[in-house]
Amino acid sequence: MKAGLVVLCLGYVLSQFFRAFLAVLSVDLGRDIGATPEDLAFASGLWFLIFAAMQLPVGWALDRVGPRLTAAVLLLVGGAGGAAMFALSSTPFHIAIAMGLIGVGCSPVLMASYYIFAREFPPARFATLAAVMLGVGSVGNLVASYPTALAVELMGWRATMGTLAVFSAAIALGIWFSVHDPKRVETEHRGSVLDLLKEPALWAILPLMLVAYAPSAATRGLWAGPYLSDIFGLSTTQIGTATLIMGAAMIAGTFAYGPLDRILGTRKWVIFGGNALGTVGLVLMCLWVDSAVWLSVVLMAAIGFLGASFPVIMAHGRAFVPPHLVGRGMTLLNLFGIGGVGLAQFVTGRIHAATVDISPTAPYTAIFGFFAVTQAIGCVIYLFSRDSVD
């Protein structure tokens, strides 16, 4: 099982890469195939929404057929196939379809790992194990920054994506040969996602899950590139360096959040405190949107660090999920987390298009303001949640 978890972690590296690399390619895709920031916002949003929509069938598959078959087949067909299509794209529409396919391929990888953690390890270790998987897998976030910018400069974005298609196929085959499915839960109880939605405790958690990951993921994965280029005139490699810093901060935040629930004896207030401070960081981005490039990079890094509460929110929600519905419970929470990013990408794409003619700073002030308001609302609703520590 350890070898299987290592390979699943490599698959999650790819998943993190694919949700973040468009920010670095924005200049090249605009020049070569005429992709605008709105086009890339649509393509990125499609990745997240299709990824989110896949969580329901993925949850059913994890409970019924296991993580091995679910992750291997989807990553091979969607991940490798989508990356190959991206490499051959000639229009922004092709890019959008390719990103949708890649979303299908990446959709089961992290949840397959979390399913194994939930079934094979003590509940008290779930948040830490989930954070470690998320943190190590987030190396893909770093690869999607300066290293990708360098690869694109050396061999072009098409060759870079073709290489990633080969890597995706190899990892899918590795999952097939190394992952072993946990023993199925034998129970007379039957259930579905509808049964999970009858649990009142989840309804105070799901709204924050919807908005907590969106500011850091959308900024790192898309808006950092156009923002730093339009406001400060940074080049592709300079944008790569800035997003590398933000990506490193997101990884550090994941490892910092992981053990805090056990150290402090609370999940609720760890999650609330981090997201409330993240909201403050977004407000400061609005106020100082064009003050200095170093300040913007520092604030983006802070937003990335504080926005890494995903595994702890997942652990909080998991505490209210019965054992025979673990797969569907994990994927329901993930649907909200990833779906929130997809919705945010579509909304912020519209915001950018509606404000781009006002002034250079107006689109980005409005985008960061949108993230601040939605995160603040999520925090307020989350105050009514029940705490849980295993």
Q: Which positions of the chain have pLDDT values less than 50?
A: none
Identify the three-state secondary structure at position 81.
helix
| Per-residue pLDDT reduced to its tens digit, 41-93 | 889 888 888 988 898 899 889 888 899 999 999 999 999 999 999 999 999 99
Contacts 24+ apart (CB under 8 A), 352-358: 352/37, 352/38, 352/41, 352/226, 353/38
Task: Using alpha carbons, select from 2, 21, 246, 261 the residue that is nearest to residue 131.
Answer: 261
How much is the pLDDT for 180? 87
Backbone angles phi, psi at 179, to 5 degrees: -85, 135
| Per-residue pLDDT reduced to its tens digit, 281-337 | 999 999 999 999 999 999 999 999 999 998 889 889 888 888 777 778 888 888 898
How much is the pLDDT for 245? 92
How much is the pLDDT for 300? 96
Entry pTM? 0.76
Check: CB of residue 271 under 8 Å from CB of residue 312. Answer: yes
Rounded to an integer, what distance in angstroms lies between the CA atom of residue 304 and that of residue 183? 37
How much is the pLDDT for 1? 54
